[in-house]
Structure 1
Amino acid sequence: MFWEALGSAVLGLALAWAAVRRLPHRLPARAMVLPTGAAGALFGAFLTHSALGSAGLPVILVGALAVSAASLSLLLRPAEGLRRRSATA
């Protein structure tokens, strides 16, 4: 269980770091993105482990990656060039 938690935290940090490097203009400050990635991955590992039991480390890490990506996607802001006005505005 220790390796699941450590691996998922490292995986979440790596995903958050890649998101900050790839999309700095669409994300808030790095100090908010990195902990969100790690916390999302830890929650995803907990959720996957609770749902599937001891399914194996790779399965737990895939669940951690999915929840971490979902939590990081909630931080994304719309791109400046893609804003559209509605017909009623």
Structure 2
Amino acid sequence: MLLETLGSAVLGLALAWAAAHRLPHRLPARALVLSTGVAGALFGAFVTHSALGSARLLVILVGALALSAASLSLLLRPAERFRRRSATA
């Protein structure tokens, strides 16, 4: 269980760092992105472990990765070039 926790935290941190490095103009402050990635991964590992019991480590890490990516996607802002102004503005 300790390996699941450490593995999912490292995986969430790596995913959040990659997102912050790749999309800095579309994400808020880096500290918020990194903490959201780790928290999402830990929660994903908890949910996967609770749903499947003592499944394989790889399955739990995939669940952690999925929930971490989903929580990071909620932080994305729209790109500036696709934003349109209304006719009344």
Shorter-normalised TM range: over 0.9
Query: Whole-Å Cα distance in 1 between the matches of residues 2 and 18 of structure 2?
Result: 24
What does residue 23 of structure 2 align with? 23
SS of equivalent residue, structure 2 residue 55: coil
Matched residue SS, 1:40: helix
* Unmatched runs of 5 consecutive residues or more in structure 2: none
CA distance in 1, matches of 2:39, 2:74: 13
Q: Cα deviations across residues 36-80 of structure 1 (Å, max 9, x unaligned)?
A: 000000000000000001111000000000000000000000000
Name the structure 1 match of 2:73. Answer: 73
* Percent of residue pairs bearing the same amino acid type: 84
Aligned letter for 2:74?
L
- Give me the whole-angstrom Cα distance separating, in 1, the residues matched to 2:69 and 2:34: 12
The Cα of 1:85 is off from its aligned counterpart by 4.2
Whole-angstrom CA distance in 2 between matches of 1:23 and 1:76:
9
Q: TM-score, normalised by structure 1?
A: 0.94
Moved beyond 4 Å, runs of 4+: 85-89
Q: How many Å separate the matches in 2 of 1:88 and 1:42?
A: 45
Structure 1, unaligned runs of 5 or more: none
Say how many residue pairs are matched. 89
* Partner SS, residue 58 of structure 2: helix
Task: State the alpha-carbon separation in 2 of the partners of residues 56 and 88 from structure 1.
Answer: 56
Partner of 2:42: 42
Offset of 1:87 from its aligned partner? 7.0
Partners in 2 of 1:2 and 1:47 — Cα distance? 15
Return the TM-score normalized by structure 2: 0.94
CA positional deviation for 1:84: 2.7
